[in-house]
Structures are given as C-alpha cells and as structure tokens.
Amino acid sequence: MEEFSATLLREKFILEGIEQKADRKEIATGNRLILPLISPNGNVREEYIIRSQNMHTAVRYASLMAKEFYRTGPMMSRKDNVDWQDMFKQVMRGYEEKWNPGYWICVYHKGQIIFEDGIVKRPALLDIIEKCDAQNPNDYDHSVKLAKDAFQQVGSEYNIKHDSNIAMLINVTEQVGKCAAVVRGPNRKTTFNFTARRTEDHKVQVAQCLNISAAFLEGIQVAFSAGMIREKLRLGLIDKFSSDAKKGEDAGALLGRLNLVINQFENLLDVHYRPERPEFSHMIDEASAYMNRLHQQELNAQKEAEQQAQEEAAAADEDGVPDVPEEILQEAEKAAQDAGADMDADVTKDDGVSGTDDKKS
C-alpha cells in the first residue's frame, strides 16, 4: 500500500462590509480535510476535499470513503454508483442527527461538487475557493487569494480575511499509523498523538485510523457538552426532564460507544499515546468545573450590579430630597387641600366687601 497522508484544517473567513455596507460583518467557519486516495498498485490517485461544520464529521466520512476506495476500487469512474448518501447517513446516525441543528458537508473533486448535504447551507465562498484550488493545486493560500480577488473584480462590497490552523495530521502505512491532533478545550488546547503499529494478525488500515481519529475528535466535543449539562443540572439551572437533560443522557451513551470502539482498536493493534490517551471522563469533569466558574462569575456580576445600584440610589438620596413617609405625605396633601379651600373663601369674602364699599361711595 502506498503511504497515506491527510491534513485537516480549521478555518475562519471574515467578510467585512465596505462603503454602504461598512457596518456589516459576516463570519464563515468550517473544516477542510484533504483526502488523497492511492490504489494499492499506485496507478490511480484520486484526491478529494471534504468540508464540514464539525471536524469529526469530515474525518468519519473520509474513513468511509477510504473503505470504499480500498475495498472496491477508484470511485470517480463509478461515482453514480457510489452511495454517497448512505455513507452520510452512517456518519450522522444517532446523536449527531438528533442534536446538531447546523450540520453540513460537501465533497469536492477537482473543484466540482461530488456530494453535499446538511440542514444549513455552507458559505458560497467555499465553493469558489475550491474551484480556484483546482486551477492552482498545491498552493492553497494562493487559491484563497484568487477567490478574494474574484470577489473584488465582480464589485463585491466585502473585504475577506482568512485564518486557518492545522487541527489534525494523519500518516498511515501497512506497518504503522500516526495521528496528531490539536483540539480547543474550555481552558486550553488539548494536544494528543497516537501511534498504532501492526501486530502479527492485523495490519494497519487507513479507514481504521481515520475512524478512530474521528472517535477521539467527537468524544472530546461531546464530553464538553456532557460536562456543561451535568453541572447545569446540579446547579438547578435546567430541569431534569428538559431536552438539554436528555441531550446529556444521550451524550453519555455516545461516549460509552466511542470508548468501546477505541478499546477494540487498541486490542487489534499495538497502540501508544503521547502524552496519554484522552480520557472523556476527565474532560467531563473539566467542563463541569468550567460551567461552575461561569455560573459563579455570573452570580458575582449580578451581586456587584445590585450593590452598585444600591450605592447609586443612596447617593441620590443624599444629594436630593429625603424620602418622606407615606402617612406624612397624606397629611400634607390634606392640609394643602384645606389651605386651598380657606384661600377660596377669603377671596369670596374680599369680593363682597369691595362691592359694599362701592355702593356706599
């Protein structure tokens, strides 16, 4: 088998309005996996680009594509007979389909869309970039620049900024598979590497390494969600019968299944981690602690706001007229009414006397 190498990028595009749209700003995020598939004899090479909302979605879909390619042969010559949709259903089945309201995926080959699906429409800019990259292979940064220039030449009222970083690297031969990943956590970035070496009974497979990489990526993300929900339940911020609580239960079940898949992988091959295997249970605890800190910060902010409001009210009382008890206000109002009545009577009396004097004169 030819050596296999794949790279996963985490990307963000910022579209900032100019002139009449200077107050507008749009952000497009996603992940881009380069998937080069080479036939065992080295005669056929097919390179695909997989873009998706989540990292694990792209990597797991890539594992199914690799499985199809190495078992059945090159796909582009029979692309109409490849069940791209069924592969996507396998990726999304269960937790992802139920709890992810914004998933999307798109597969490209030489700039052309081979398969696409999802609830949310991906940014159109991504399709233009892939067309530029097909015309300008092996220089992705320049392809992004070409896409920006294309927007400007057609009179786009946006400036485009691009930021990307490597999220995962995978290298596989029949003897050894290596994966290095960098995943963002609530407090820090989680970095882990695994090396899987061939055993007497089992050789290393591309699809297998991709699938386990996806399991770790998904597990890290789901563990964070599970930990946040667990702490919200403990603090009484959500009801135990709420949809969030149900999501937490489903997350726990999914993590159990992912651990099972990873354990099976470790039983087949000689697997080593650096620095250590990511433990989802520890990540749940970290996420719970993070949620607790957020809650305490919110409570402290509310307390400070209330204290400041009380201090401002006290300062206003000192500078202005002090509050008068309601009972005294009522008596003052009655006295004012009585005084007004007396004044009216005096005016009437004065008018009568004046009239009498006029008659005498």
Check: CB of residue 291 under 8 Å from CB of residue 231.
Answer: yes
- Averaged pLDDT in 10-residue chunks for the chain of 361 residues: 92 78 78 95 93 97 97 93 96 94 96 95 88 88 85 73 93 96 79 95 96 96 96 96 96 97 97 94 94 94 90 72 67 73 54 46 40
pTM: 0.83
Check: CB of residue 178 under 8 Å from CB of residue 170.
Answer: yes
Helices (H), 79-139: 84-92, 95-99, 124-135
**CA 45 – CA 231 distance, rounded (Å):** 49
Q: Which two tokens stand for residue 262?
A: 């990873």
At residue 157, the pLDDT reads 66
For 335, list phi and psi in degrees, rounded to 5: -65, -40
Three-state secondary structure along 162-221? Answer: EEEEEEEEEEECCCEEEEEEEEECCCCEEEEEEEEECCCCCCCCHHHHHHHHHHHHHHHH
At residue 321, the pLDDT reads 54
Smallest CA-to-CA distance from 169 within 262, 91, 59, 273 is with 59
**CA 250 centroid distance within chain:** 19
**CA 3 – CA 173 distance, rounded (Å):** 5
Which amino acid, residue 104?
W
* Angular region, 172: left φ>0, alpha ψ -120 to 50, beta rest: beta
* Contacts of 347 by beta carbon, 8 Å cutoff, 6+ apart: none
Smallest CA-to-CA distance from 214 within 261, 277, 250 is with 261
- Helix 243-268 × helix 280-319 angle, to 10°: 150
At residue 261, the pLDDT reads 97
**CA 199 – CA 181 distance, rounded (Å):** 24
Smallest CA-to-CA distance from 94 within 288, 276, 250, 308 is with 250
Q: What share of the chain is helix, strand, coil (3-state, %, to 5)?
A: 55, 25, 20
Check: CB of residue 75 under 8 Å from CB of residue 82.
Answer: yes
